[in-house]
A and B are shown apart, each in its own frame.
Chain A
């Protein structure tokens, strides 16, 4: 496989990206700024959405749950791609760091999928009259939650790390089938769930006064996801690399300061 990584200097970034140490140091520099940006975006978006956005003509104030529901659902889905792609890179290039990212993405994705379902349920009660329906969108999101939990569980189901990683990665890849089903579920089946508010191909079906804070919240959630993925991966790096000299140096340096 040497030809894959050595044939051109442009592959150097890929090689370096595979180094847990490089990842740990680089994210250590970014994290304070990224966290600050996340706090500002989420704080602004939440106050704007909950207090200043006009209420919905049909749904009244219950629609304000959209400012949590849609961003959480976005990242629950985007996070699945990240987990599956990290798993694929791990399978193909046997990259340790990539498996660590995959493992880290699983609990975050599960938590965000749970939030999407939970905020959907408390939004459903005042709008649909019920917390739960077994319709296509809601059920396929529940399957997403189980996929995340499955990837998480497989990590601990094997004695060797390597076997657990490979099994998790394969389940993550097979599960990607579910993602387009979730996206398309509101178009393919008769469902209570409203169609997508935001589409890349057309203008949003929302008034700008309502849409702008939603955009801020989605950006905030993307940043939040990046922060948590870095934090989880860094913890995993420390755990797995605890015997290496650079982690020991890091800990000694931390004790002195």
Chain B
């Protein structure tokens, strides 16, 4: 098993097919990263909401 390209330029060019291949790679990675970061941000936001509810509940208890 050998590396198929002589240098980085050849790897990027892929004998003319580079733009197609690398567009597919970049878009795929972008979508996949989004699929991971989106639910993580949602989780964080949900936990923040819960924390705020708890803080509010303890505050109103203290006043009463």
Q: Chain B contacts of A60 at CB under 8 A?
A: 14-17
Q: Are A228 and B21 in contact (CB under 8 A)?
A: no
Q: Per DSSP, are chain B's interface residues mostly helix, strand or loop, or mixed?
A: helix
Beyond A231-B40, A238-B47, is A61–B53 a contact (Cβ under 8 Å)? no
Q: How large is the interface on A (under 10, 10 to 19, 20 to 34, 35 or more residues)?
A: 35 or more
CB-nearest residue of chain A to B14: A61
Q: Which of A51-59, A141-149, A185-193, A194-202 contacts B (4 or more CB under 8 A)?
A: A51-59
Task: List CB contacts (< 8 Å) of B1-30 with chain A.
Answer: 1-5, 11, 14-18, 20-21, 23-25, 27-28
A72 within 8 A of B: yes
Task: List CB contacts (< 8 Å) of A228-257 with chain B.
Answer: 228, 231-232, 234-236, 238-239, 242, 247-248, 250-252, 254-255
Q: Chain B contacts of A52 at CB under 8 A?
A: 1-4
Beyond A51-B5, A119-B24, is A248–B15 a contact (Cβ under 8 Å)? no
Q: Are B51 and A114 in contact (CB under 8 A)?
A: no
- The distance in angstroms between the C-alpha atoms of A61 and B53, with both chains bound, is 56
Shortest Cβ distance from B31 into chain A, in angstroms?
5
Q: Chain B contacts of A64 at CB under 8 A?
A: 14, 17, 21
Per-residue interface assignment for chain B, residues 33 to 62, with 1 indicating a CB less than 8 Å from any chain A CB and 0 otherwise: 011101110110011011101100000000
B64 within 8 A of A: no
A30 within 8 A of B: no
Q: Are A51 and B11 in contact (CB under 8 A)?
A: yes
A62 within 8 A of B: yes
Q: Are B31 and A235 in contact (CB under 8 A)?
A: no
A135 within 8 A of B: no
Q: Are B20 and A122 in contact (CB under 8 A)?
A: yes
Shortest Cβ distance from B36 into chain A, in angstroms?
6
Beyond A118-B27, A126-B20, is A234–B43 a contact (Cβ under 8 Å)? yes
Shortest Cβ distance from B24 into chain A, in angstroms?
4
CB-nearest residue of chain B to A52: B1
Q: Are A248 and B50 in contact (CB under 8 A)?
A: yes
- The distance in angstroms between the C-alpha atoms of A92 and B47, with both chains bound, is 31
Shortest Cβ distance from A213 into chain B, in angstroms?
10
- The distance in angstroms between the C-alpha atoms of A130 and B42, with both chains bound, is 39
Known: A60-B17, A62-B20, A248-B53; 12 extra A-B contacts, CB below 8 A, are: A52-B3, A61-B18, A65-B21, A111-B31, A119-B24, A122-B21, A126-B20, A209-B1, A238-B46, A239-B46, A247-B50, A255-B51
Residues of B near any A CB (own CB < 8 A): 1-5, 11, 14-18, 20-21, 23-25, 27-28, 31-32, 34-36, 38-40, 42-43, 46-47, 49-51, 53-54
Residues of A near any B CB (own CB < 8 A): 46, 50-55, 60-62, 64-65, 68-69, 72, 104, 107-108, 111, 114-115, 118-119, 122-123, 125-126, 209, 224, 227-228, 231-232, 234-236, 238-239, 242, 247-248, 250-252, 254-255
21 examples of A-B residue contacts, CB within 8 angstroms: A50-B25, A52-B3, A52-B4, A60-B17, A61-B14, A61-B15, A61-B17, A62-B20, A62-B21, A68-B25, A115-B28, A119-B24, A122-B20, A122-B21, A227-B36, A235-B42, A238-B42, A238-B47, A239-B42, A250-B47, A251-B51
